[in-house]
Amino acid sequence: MPGQDSSVGAPKRQVRYRRRLRSRIILSYLLLGFGLTLALAFTTNWARGRVENQLVEDLMNRNLDESWARFVQSGGREPEVPVQQLKAFYYTPDKFDELRMHRPEWYALGDGIHNVTAVEEDGSKSYYKLGVRKTPQAWFFLAYDMSQSARGEKQFNNALIGVVIVFTGLSLLVGWWAASRVMSPVSDLAQRLRRSGTSSDPDALSPHFPQDEVGELAKALDDYAARLTEVVQRDREFNADVSHELRTPLAVIRGAVELMMARPDVDERTLTRLQRIHRAQQQCTDLIGALLLLSRNERAQGACDVARVAQQQLESHRAQLGGKPVDLRLEGEAGVNLDVPDSALAVALGNLIGNAVKYTPSGEVVVRVHRDAVEVIDSGPGLSAEDAANLFTRGYRGSHAGQSQGGGIGLSIVRRLCVLYGWEVQVRPGVDRGVVATLRFSPAGSIG
């Protein structure tokens, strides 16, 4: 579908920001210290305020009880109120109007202990607790000045904030130290593992660590490295054996075919078949060479003429059209050379051309050579969104595959060759119809 494309090239570095284990340990200590200190400060402040209020209220209630008892004993006369750090006020019924006029907020209060905020003449605020006891004979008021206590509470809170900050800082230092001690063997293990990864025969890790959790991890890594080395060695030996054993019969086939083609009495029909066998032998040889490079993960060098390889692939697929009305042609620049073996480019380009020929029932397939890329343009049915998303997945066969042969690994091999040589392959829908496959080369791989 238009607008959908699929591209694979040199692996792009993906940066993911993750919090390191060391940072997580430090952050855990920091949050733990901050949380515990804050909880302790809050609890201490709450307990202090509760105890202080309870003591003040008990004191004021005792003085109110004592004032009432003295009032009764004095026969209604103004008693002597024994108070400490308190201001006592006593109003008989004949003074209620005076109380309402001068202290209306007191007049409206009921029995009990109340928190009162007053504004002084200089504009400052004072805080006090007011104990109220109202009887038919008299109203008693006891005022306890809380301004000094409020200032002390503010200083106490500031001190608690300082304690929280100091202990949070200490938690950070302890967390930093603990994280360094905990992560030191893990970091050492990572460095040794990184150094051993550059060798085909890695050194054992476990002898360098004690018998603890990190030592067990080192043992597990040694075991895994041994098994992985064995698997890789078997894979390399298998690839080398297969390459050697297959190249010998292919060389025999090639020699025999060339001898038969050189005979003057070969008729045209037989010659066509011999040429087809010769091309198939060359394709097998190229494929074996490319697969061997992929298995070894090594970039072999060469002097590859892009236009010549493209022409060879077109000729090979032209012989396999089987009467299908598809025109194959080569366009573009000549003299474009790459520092790669012919087999690598032949396999990559051959798969792209082969797919274009396979999925084009009629029309044309054009191979256009540019200075830094090769385009394969067909007039087939196009590219669906699902095909674009899974085109280079190993084993995937496109929606237009139908009953055609193939295991869906051709473009997967192309992708791996692009990763190996730093190329980029992109498949996108054509302007009107069909598909445009672009094989773009890295500047370092071009030699002319």
Specify the pLDDT at position 312: 87
Task: Say how far apart CA 399 and CA 421 lie, in whole Å.
Answer: 30
How confident is the prediction for the chain on average, in pLDDT? 77
Q: Pick the closest to residue 33 from 171, 176, 160 (CA basis).
A: 171
pLDDT bucket at 17, cuts 50 / 70 / 90? very low
As given in the structure block, the two tokens for residue 306 are 């892009």
Residue 10 neighbours by CB under 8 Å, 6+ apart: 418, 419, 422, 423, 424, 442
φ, ψ for residue 365, nearest 5 deg: -130, 120
pLDDT given at position 447: 57
Most confident of 24-33, 95-104, 140-149, 372-381: 372-381
Tell me the average pLDDT across 313-334.
84
Greater pLDDT, 221 or 11: 221
Range of lowest pLDDT (49-53, 171-175, 214-218, 366-370): 49-53
Q: How confident is the model at residue 407 (pLDDT cuts 50, 70, 90)?
A: very low
pLDDT(322) > 50: yes
Residue with tokens 């019924």: 93
Q: Which of 205-209, 309-313, 391-395, 408-412 reaches the highest mean pLDDT?
A: 309-313
Structure-block tokens of residue 90: 């006593």
CB count in 10 Å sphere of residue 224:
10
Amino acid sitting at position 142: L
**Segment (H or E) for 125:** strand 125-134
| 327/329 Cα distance (integer angstroms) | 7
Q: Which of 7-11, 360-364, 390-394 has the highest mean pLDDT?
A: 360-364
φ and ψ at residue 404, rounded to 5 degrees: -70, 150
pLDDT in tens, 261-313: 888 888 888 888 888 888 788 878 877 777 777 777 777 788 889 999 889 88
pLDDT of residue 13: 46
Q: Which pLDDT band, with edges at 50, 70 and 90, does 375 fall under?
A: very high
Please say if the pLDDT value at position 397 is more than 80: no
pLDDT of residue 368: 92
Residue 288 tokens, joined = 């074996």
**What's the confidence (pLDDT) of residue 4?**
57
Joined tokens for residue 265: 């009495």
Domains of the chain: 22-153 (no CATH), 197-298 (1.10.287.130), 299-448 (3.30.565.10)
Mean pLDDT of 179-193: 76
- Sign of the four-CA dihedral 86, 87, 88, 91: negative
Q: What is the mean pLDDT of residues 111-130?
A: 77
Q: Is the pLDDT of residue 257 over 50?
A: yes
pLDDT 10s digits, 234-256: 777 777 776 667 777 878 888 88
**Per-residue pLDDT for 7 more than 70?**
no
| Helices and strands (DSSP H and E) totals, the chain | 10, 12
pLDDT value for 1: 47
Mean pLDDT (whole number) for 14-40:
71
Exposed, middle or buried: residue 262 (CB in 10 Å: 0-12, 13-18, 19+)? Answer: exposed
Predicted pLDDT of residue 83: 47
Question: Which residue matches tokens 């066509």?
Answer: 272
pLDDT above 80 for 385:
no
CB 29 within 8 A of CB 173: no
What confidence category does residue 15 fall into, taking pLDDT thresholds of 50, 70 and 90?
very low
Lowest-confidence region among 35-39, 161-165, 408-412: 408-412
